[in-house]
Structure formats: structure tokens, C-alpha cells
Amino acid sequence: MILYSRPIIEEKTYDLKDFFITQKSAYITILLFGDDKGSMIYVKNKIKYGGEIWCNVRVIKDEDFKSLKGKDLVNSIKEKISQLNDDKNCLGIIIQLPLPKHLQDHQQELCDTIAIEKDIDCMTSAMVGKISVGRKDIVYPAAVAATISLLYYYKLTIQKGKQVSIIGQSNLIGKPMALYAINQWAQVHSFWIDWDTEIMKKICQESDYIISSTGVLNLIDQECISANGKQVVIDIGYAFDEKGKAAGDANFYEIKDSVHALSPVPGGIGPLCVYQLFENIVKLHS
């Protein structure tokens, strides 16, 4: 089974339109720094989808901060975020990750400047704290929420006692994904990309779910797959193959006939992430 997200988006987009048509001056702001190719595509898709549901998407880039460097740059970004916090028409603020090297050490400091009610990508320490304790009013980061929605739609939700291997431990995907699975009483194995590959693949073979978000092309191959044909593989990775085409962590054509379900790249989690960002706005402002 190939887990395409388009049917979910088509089904739910109308509800978003109903919300935003009553918010005529509303907008969200994305702070985009650097020239990461994947980030630029993702932001472009957010702008496009925002137009479809009548929500304006504004983008702030490096050039908006002129030639500022070091602490002056960080303080200027924080000041801009504070202004957006005070703007009632701004319903959401996103710091697009990954940040370039000169800002990476300040990532959490910048994220924590965002007001929690505008943290639609769930990057503030306060929002992470809600996830860690399993609060009922949790708003998950877009990729995690997209994974949950995709599994629910295809009746593949993670159940108590299932084994889940999560590759990648980022604050945006890997860690909150692990916390979600733990909150479902699953047995969770969490791997960083530097783990011993043979150990990781062996444990993946024994898992009911494999969820990967590293951006390492073809990391999940046949050696990760069980012979029982019952596994669910969720590919949240985003990379480019030798022809420059979008691809994911999973070697799609190698494993697609050996697993029960597999999300494709593109067409799987990515488009649903865009939808979930706007869905998070509705949740935070309802």
C-alpha cells in the first residue's frame, strides 16, 4: 500500500477555507535564512497552499536584516519576532529549519521568542514541554502531525506494544515523534544518524514501524526490512537523487513490494506537512 497524502488534503482543505475566510487580514510569517534547497521548496509550497485557503504567507529573509552579524543579528531577529507577537493579524510564526551555521547556536533562543499561541511549528520550549508530558491539548510539529494523520487515515495507527524504530533525533521531528509513540505505549527505538548501521538495520527488521527523517538518500533499504511483509515505513526524509529529483530516506523501488505500507517522496508526508501547519493555526486559535 502506498500512502499518498493528497486524498487527506483534498478532504480537509475545505475546513481550512471556512476558517480563514473569516480572518481576512490574517497572515503567517516565515523567517527564512540561508539557501537550503529543500527549505526554499518547502516555503514555496507553503505560500502556494496559503493562497489556496485565503491565508497570506509573508517571508522575511536575510536581506531584511541588512549586514548585521553576531549578537546584533540575533537581537534584531528577536525584536522582529516580538513585533509579530504583538500583531493580532499575525496568526503564526515559523523559523524555517535548518538554520545556516552562523545562527544554529541561537536556534532555541530564537524559537523561544515566539509566543506559544503563534508557535505553529511547535519549536518553543513550552510547546515541547506539553508534548513530553502527553498533555491533551498538544499541538504537534507539522511532520509529526502529518505522520499521525496519515496513519489514522489509512487505519494504521500505532498501537500499544508495537515496536517502532525512529531514525533521526531532531527537536522538530525525531524527538516529538518518539514521545508520541511512547504516549501510545509502543516500544520505541530512537536512532541518531551516527549509530552503528548494522545494529540499526537489525532492530529495524524487528520493528512494526520504521519512521525515518534524516535526509540521507536510500538509508532505509532491503536490509532494514523484515521478511514478514507487515511493516509500515514512513519516510519523512527529503533529499535529491543523482538526477536532481526529490527523494527520501527510503529506497522506494527496492522496498515497496516488501512492506505492508510505505509513504512516498514526493507525495507522502511533505504535502501533508504544509496542510498541518495551517491546521495548527486553527487549533491554537479556536
What is Dmax (Cα atoms) for the chain?
A: 57
**Strands 232-235 vs 209-212: parallel, antiparallel or unpaired:** parallel
For 128, other C-beta atoms within 10 Å of its C-beta total: 19
C-alpha 62/C-alpha 210 separation (Å) is 36
For 1, other C-beta atoms within 10 Å of its C-beta total: 12
Contact 39, 98 (CB under 8 A): yes
pLDDT digits (tens, 9 = 90+) for 102-138: 999 999 999 999 999 999 999 998 887 777 665 556 7
Contact 238, 212 (CB under 8 A): no
C-alpha cell of 100?
A: 545556516
Give the angle subtended at the CA of 48 by the CAs of 272 and 177, to the nearest 5°: 25
Q: Which residue, 267, 272, 265, 97, is CA-closest to 174?
A: 97
CA pseudo-torsion sign 166, 169, 171, 172: negative
Contact 59, 65 (CB under 8 A): no
pLDDT digits (tens, 9 = 90+) for 56-112: 999 999 888 877 888 999 999 999 999 999 999 999 999 998 899 999 999 999 999
pLDDT tens for the chain, 286 residues: list them. Answer: 999 999 999 999 999 999 998 888 899 999 999 888 888 988 999 999 999 999 999 999 988 887 788 899 999 999 999 999 999 999 999 999 889 999 999 999 999 999 999 999 999 988 877 776 655 567 899 999 999 999 999 999 999 999 999 999 988 899 999 999 999 999 999 998 788 889 999 999 999 999 999 999 999 999 999 999 999 999 999 888 888 888 999 999 999 999 999 999 999 999 999 999 999 999 888 7
Q: What totals of helices (H) and strands (E) does the chain contain, helices first?
A: 11, 10
